[in-house]
Amino acid sequence: MNHFFTPERPFLSWELQGIDGKPARLFENLPSTHAYSKEHIQDLFTGGLVVANSQSSGRGRHDRIWQSPIGKNLYFNITFPLQGLVPHQYAQMMQVSAITIAEFVRELGVDASVKWPNDILCHKQKFCGMISDLLRMEQGNFLTIGTGINVNTEAEDLANLGRPATSLKIVLQKQLNREALLREIVKRLGRSLQEVKEKGLAPWISEWREMDQFIGHKARMVEGDTVVEGTILDINDDGSLLFQTEYGNTISRYTGDLEI
C-alpha cells in the first residue's frame, strides 16, 4: 500500500487506461468531466476514461457545485454499456461503483461508508460524490458516471462549503498519490461492474450493510419537489432504500436524495 503515498508525477505525464485497457484522456482543466463525456460520447471508447486536473464548473447531484481545485483531487468519468441490464439495474451500477471505492479506501485506513444511494463518507463527512446520466445511442444505452474524490484537499479548502466534508488527506494525515489511486480504482471498477452484469448487486449487499452508518436514523427523502420525513429501515437486496414515513407507511425507493 505504500505506493499510494509516494510523491506523484506531473498530471499530464500520468500513465492511465480506462476499463479493459481503453484509452484515457487527460485535461489540465475542463468545465466538467461529466459534461465533456456527454458531449463527446460518439468519440469516446466504451470504458474509456476522462480525467481533469481541475474543473471550472464541476457539479454534483441536483446541480450542486463540486469544488474542484487544481492539482489536489480526482475528477473523472467512465462510460459503461448497459446491454443486458434492465432499467432498475442502472442505479445498481452507481451503487456498486460507490461500494467498490469505499472498500478500497477502507483498506487504506479510512472508515468509509456509503450513504444511500452512492455518497461516500467518513464519520458522516462526505469525501466522494457521483453523478450519472443515461445516454441513448443507436448502438445501445450507456451510463456515464462522473466521480469526484477529495484526495489532498486541506481543511481550509472546505471551511466555507456549508455542509460536512472531508478528504483522504485530512483523515489519514498523509499526502496521497492521485495517479496510483486512480489506476487502482479503475482496475477495481472494471472488475466490479462486470460482476454486476453477471450477478447483480447481491455480492455487495452484505458489505454495504456492514459499513452503513445510517440504518435506524431519522432522515428526509427528497424526490424532485417532494420531501418525505421518516426513518431509514434498511437497504433492500436490490439496492433500493426501505424507508418508513413519519405516518408509519413503509416505502421502497430506487432513486432519490437522502438528507440525514
Query: Could you tell me the domains of the chain?
Result: 2-210 (3.30.930.10), 214-259 (2.30.30.100)
**Cα 244 to Cα 229: distance, rounded to the nearest angstrom:** 8
Tens digits of residue pLDDT in 226-247: 899 999 999 988 888 999 999 9
Is residue 40 within 8 Å of 67, Cβ to Cβ? no
Angle at 111 between CA 109 and CA 113, to 5 degrees: 135
**Cα 223 to Cα 245: distance, rounded to the nearest angstrom:** 14
**Cα 11 to Cα 9: distance, rounded to the nearest angstrom:** 6
> What mean pLDDT comes out for the span 64-71?
75
**Cα 46 to Cα 143: distance, rounded to the nearest angstrom:** 10
Give percent of the chain above pLDDT 70. 96
b/e code 132-162 from CB counts within 10 Å (16+ = b): bbebeeeeeebbbbbbbbbbbbeeebbeeee
Please state, rounded to an integer, the average pLDDT across all residues of the chain. 89
Residue (of 126, 107, 103) closest to 115 by Cα position: 126
Which pLDDT score is estimated for 66?
A: 60
How far is Cα of residue 132 from the mean position of the Cα atoms in its chain?
Answer: 9
> What mean pLDDT comes out for the span 68-84?
90
> What mean pLDDT comes out for the span 200-216?
84
Tens digits of residue pLDDT in 87-137: 878 888 889 999 999 999 999 999 999 998 889 999 989 999 999 999 888
pLDDT higher than 70, residue 57: no
